[in-house]
Amino acid sequence: MSSSSNSASLEDQLREAILAKPDAVLQDQHLMNALVAANERAMGSNVVDLRGIAMERMAARLTRLEDTHRSVIAAAYDNLAGTNLIHRAVLRLLEPEDFAAFLACLEQEMPEILRVQSLALVLETAQPGGAEIERKSGALKLSGPGFTESYAGQPGSQRIVTLRQTQGGSPRVYGQKAEWIRSEACLMLDLGEGRLPGMLVMGSEDPHQFSPMQGTDLLAFFAGVFERAMRCWLS
C-alpha cells in the first residue's frame, strides 16, 4: 500500500472519530487552541479575526471573574473561621469562677483557642512592686502608667486594636517567647472609671497572622467582651 493510501486511510479514520464524538473535541482545550491557531494561519496576516479577538477577551474576563470568585469564597471562609474562634474564646471567658481561674485560662487555654503562640494581659498600676503577682501568672504583666498606649504606638488615639508585624516581640510582654514573635495584635482595654487602662496582647510566630491591612471588627468585639469581664473581676 502506498504512503498516499495510508495518509488517506488515517484522515478517514480521524474524520470518522471526530464526527462520532464532536463534544470530545470541543471539551479539549489544547485541541481547540490548535484548531484556532491553524485557522489564523490559513487566513493569512491580512485578515483580522474579530470574533477570535472577542473570544479571547471574553476568556480573559471569565478567568478574572473566576479568580475573584475564588478570592471571595476564601475570604468568606476565613471570616467564618475567625468568627468561630472568637465565639469559642468568649464562651470560655465566661466559665472561670474566680480571678485565679480566669488568669489560668488566659495562660493555658486561650492561646490555643485563638491560635496564637503567646497571650499577655498588661495592667497599668501606680503602685510599686507587683513581681509576686506576675510570678503567679505568666499571662499577667504589670506596668507603669502610660505603658499600654506607648507600646501600642497610639498615644491619645481612640483606636482599640493595633495589628502589626515585628521582628521579635518585647521580652517585657512575651518573656522567653519574645524572639519568636513575628506579628502581634494589641487590644486596648477600658477597665472603667477611675482605673488605669489595660491591654491584651496576642503574639504569633506567623508574620501574616496579624497585619495592618486586616479588618479589626472581630478583635474589637473580643476586646469589648474581655474588658467587661475584667471589670467584674476588679469590682
- Whether 196 is covered by a domain: the verdict is yes
Measured in whole angstroms, how far is the alpha carbon of residue 52 from the centre of its chain?
40
CB 145 within 8 A of CB 138: no
- Whether 165 is covered by a domain: the verdict is yes
- Whether 158 is covered by a domain: the verdict is yes
The residue ranking higher by pLDDT, 7 or 198, is 198
- Binned at pLDDT 50, 70 and 90, residue 113 comes out as very high
- Binned at pLDDT 50, 70 and 90, residue 50 comes out as low
| Structural domain of 227 | 97-234
Residues in the chain: 235
- Whether 21 is covered by a domain: the verdict is no
Measured in whole angstroms, how far is the alpha carbon of residue 214 from the centre of its chain?
7
The string of pLDDT tens digits covering residues 52-110 is 667 777 777 877 877 776 766 665 666 677 788 899 999 999 999 988 899 999 999 99
Closest residue by Cα to residue 204 from 84, 75, 112: 112
- Whether 185 is covered by a domain: the verdict is yes
CATH number at residue 170: 3.30.450
- Whether 65 is covered by a domain: the verdict is no
Under DSSP, the state recorded for 45 is T
Confidence at residue 43, expressed as pLDDT on a 0 to 100 scale? 60
Number of domains in the chain: 1
Summarize the confidence of residues 41-47 as an average pLDDT: 59
- Whether 163 is covered by a domain: the verdict is yes
- Whether 87 is covered by a domain: the verdict is no
CB 67 within 8 A of CB 199: no
